[in-house]
């Protein structure tokens, strides 16, 4: 499955890409979603830190949250990510 998430700008896209980071064993550093405030999503990482990402709009926040939830539930693994300006393409299997 594939989705495209539109971030607020290229900086936010780079930040999200670095936080998703897929290791060789197909794990992500993101461990959960702490809060959603309009177009802002606050995620927690496995090192217990929290980070804020601004997406283009609330629709993209909802799309990302729905897409990544099955990864948190260990039903899917992230396979790849690609960035094109402020758009992140995420593929899971």
Place of tokens 């539109």: 6
The whole-model pTM stands at: 0.90
How many Å apart are CA 29 and CA 51, to the nearest integer?
12
Q: Which residue do the tokens 């989705």 mark?
A: 3
Q: Is 48 left (phi over 0), alpha (psi -120 to 50) or beta?
A: left
In 39-62, which positions are buried (b, 16+ CB within 10 angstroms) versus exposed (e)? bebebbeeeeeebebbbbeeebbe
User: Which of the four pLDDT bands, split at 50, 70 and 90, describes residue 21?
Assistant: confident
pLDDT at res. 27: 72
């Amino acid at each position: 499955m594939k989705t495209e998430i539109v971030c607020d700008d290229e900086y936010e896209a780079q930040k999200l890409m670095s936080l998703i980071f897929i290791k060789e064993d197909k794990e992500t550093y993101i461990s959960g979603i702490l809060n959603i405030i309009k177009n802002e999503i606050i995620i927690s990482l496995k090192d217990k830190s929290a980070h804020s990402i601004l997406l283009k709009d609330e629709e993209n926040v909802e799309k990302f949250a729905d897409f990544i939830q099955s990864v948190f539930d260990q039903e899917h693994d992230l396979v790849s990510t690609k960035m094109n300006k402020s758009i992140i393409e995420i593929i899971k299997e």
